[in-house]
Structure 1
Amino acid sequence: MSLLRGGPHYGTELLAAPAETGALATSQGTAYPLLARLRREELVTTDWNESPNGPPRRFCTLTPQGRAALEDFSSVWAEFTDAVDRVLALDRPHLRGKQ
């Protein structure tokens, strides 16, 4: 959903961005069912738009409910990653001072 924060994107674009990180690559078999679930939960809307380079593309856009859910998740994620970092630091003496 954070990939949609800046505006509408179509499925292939949504797959490409995480793949560029090298660690978050996913497949259409994962992404499209997730997008369908987000659409059913009214967190995203989709619209078909003509493409100058081929068939029409289905663009996804965050709804206001989707933006709120993303903000909630972002704060929970930050707390989660901080907690994991603290636990990992317990096993790594050289990281203990970075809590």
Structure 2
Amino acid sequence: MNEQDYEARLHIKTIEVQHLYNAFSHYNRYEPTPYAALEELCAVYPFDQTDTVIDFGCGKGRLNFYLHDRFDCSVIGIEMNGQFYEDALANQMAYT
């Protein structure tokens, strides 16, 4: 599956890279981990329903929704950027 296919499957919007110049003293742009990299991670480390993952800097929640969809594990996202947090909440509402 490509990026758009995953987004459609999960009913989330995380694709767009976003630049937040001068938003923080240490600039880090939002760039979601490619789904192909998440597939590789899960091939090496198969999560299960008893796992809980904490994602610091979760952005819009791509990892969280992907892991929950694939393994039905618990995932907690922590994000300090207010806009990304709002986007993650919108994704949570849309997620199936």
TM range, smaller chain: under 0.3
More helix by share: 1
TM-score, normalising length: structure 2: 0.27
**Structure of higher RCO (CA pairs closer than 8 Å, 6+ residues apart):** 2
TM-score, normalising length: structure 1: 0.27
